[in-house]
Amino acid sequence: MTSITAPEHRPVKELLRAGACVLWLIYSAATLLGNELILNIFSPLTALFSSILIVTSLKDLGAFRYTGMFFFVGVFSWFISDLLLILYTYFFIDDPILTAISDQLYLLPNYMIFISAIAYSYTVLKKGDFYRVIVDTFGIAYTIYVIIINVFMSDIDIDASTDLSTLSLMMYFLAALFVLTLLAMISLETNQSRHNGKFFIIAVIVFIYELLEVRYTYYMTLELDPENIYLDIIYLGAIMIISLLLSSIKTEAQKPADFGKFPIYHFKPMQKAYMWINGALISLIGVVLFAMSFITSTELYGMFIVALAYIVVQKNMESEDLYTALLDLQKNENARLEQLVREKTQELQYVNDYLEKTSNIDALTGLYNRRYFGFYEKTIFSSSNRNKAAVFSIDLNYFKPINDNYGHDVGDYTLKEISKRLYSIFPECCTLFRMGGDEFLLVYDQSADISSDFNEKVIGIANRICTETDKQIIMKRENADDLTLTISASIGIALYPEHSTDVDEILRAADSAMYETKHKFIGSSFKIYEKNSEA
């Protein structure tokens, strides 16, 4: 629904509103008092102020700016017509050219109202609904037109020899009937409460205006003088009020394509029957009028053509509705498939991440495994890495007796407990791996701890490993006494790049130092690899 807010306070616009009202009141008073000079002066001034008021408000009308634009053209044409009236009344007395131009320009507001009504309908209705309402309107308006022309204006004989002025008058009459019918159709087929109240008032004023135009046409066909200075007060007042209403509306500047379209209330189950009934009704009216000698065979064929065209257009709209429904269905299905693909992709990504994680993580301890070390070593021990690093090869002592005497559950518990302790050793700069069985590998990367002295840090880490592994492991059991386990670690240390820049050589050096301390010491101990100590 259109968002309506109060327009900003603009002194110029307020002056124009007040001016248009005052000028119209003076014009009305002069008309009632019979002062021709004053009414001839104030009529164009009222139209001028009204047209300026509309054109200065177009940017505030948003999606309805085209409706306002066509109104402006109609009101401005009234102003030009009044100027020409002054010229041929007071300066160029009864000039036939000016008189003809002025008379035609006075008809232009009605045509502009006709276009404005269509523009408003196009803005507020969906595309398919708009065409359907326009077709309904034309079918009904044309049928009423034929009935009135042949029953109430039977003196007019429209054929190939009919003069241009009569044809122009009939077109003018049809345009007025079309606007009246369109306003009625929009009111009947849409929820009136959704239309802005000011637009609804404009519609009422336009309806009155078009009724006066029907009267004008009727008098012209009877060759009576349709001019009535008192009715001109209503004509000009309608124009002035419409300008006031349009200038007081401010909508969000939306494109028509983004506008919240109003639904029309066609009875969907009866829509096909509705189409055929209307087409048959138009044809039947034509046959009845022909049988009563109100219309000629040519006009009867014309009504048949209108009925056929009505059905063809409605069928086309029906096909377009079906196409739109299928297109929407396809879009929804595509959206559903895209969502399904996204979900499956996320699931696949989750599975891949899980597989990647499980392939790089030891299932028992949650530490990185030997496979991941293969990726990790390329980062730490690369030619581009000029920082120092230390590799700690850790092998648990007395683990096999624990596993053999107490079972694999106790052995697994021991490995997990040791893993937790080792992982707590400077995790910000150390990376721990379980290489298999009771073998662990810890890598210290100085690049993550550049503030510390490298050698002191290596010794500190080794001592922490010894401290953590020497602590007794207490395993609580539900149906038995707590189990106290004692274990230790043999640690071999190799330094990068001091001992080697080759990963395999560093691992062999760390293992060599680890085996050496394993055979020489009881309890947790460590040794830094020495090249001259190799056998």
Query: Active-site residues: which are they?
Result: 438
Three-state helix/strand/coil letters over 210-279 = HHHHHHHHHHHHCCCCCCCHHHHHHHHHHHHHHHHHHHCCCECCCCHHHCCCECCCCCHHHHHHHHHHHH
CA 336, chain centre distance (Å):
18
Q: Enumerate the H helices of 361-447 as residue ranges.
A: 370-380, 399-406, 408-423
Helix (H) or strand (E) holding 473: strand 473-475
What is the C-alpha to C-alpha distance for residues 39 and 43, in angstroms, rounded to an integer? 6
Which pairs from 171-175 meet CB under 8 Å and 24+ separation? 172/107, 172/110, 172/111, 172/213, 172/217, 173/145, 173/148, 173/149, 173/214, 173/217, 174/141, 174/142, 174/145, 175/110, 175/111, 175/114
Q: Enumerate the H helices of 424-453 as residue ranges.
A: none
Helix (H) or strand (E) holding 433: strand 430-436
Phi then psi for residue 353, to 5 deg, are -65, -40
Neighbours of 420 (CB within 10 A): 13
What is the C-alpha to C-alpha distance for residues 104 and 11, in angstroms, rounded to an integer? 36
What is the C-alpha to C-alpha distance for residues 64 and 51, in angstroms, rounded to an integer? 16
Helix, strand or coil, per DSSP, at residue 176 = helix
Among 206, 202, 236, 234, smallest CA distance to 23 is for 236
Helix, strand or coil, per DSSP, at residue 154 = coil
Sheet with 488-496, side-by-side order of all strands: 430-436, 439-445, 389-397, 488-496, 525-528
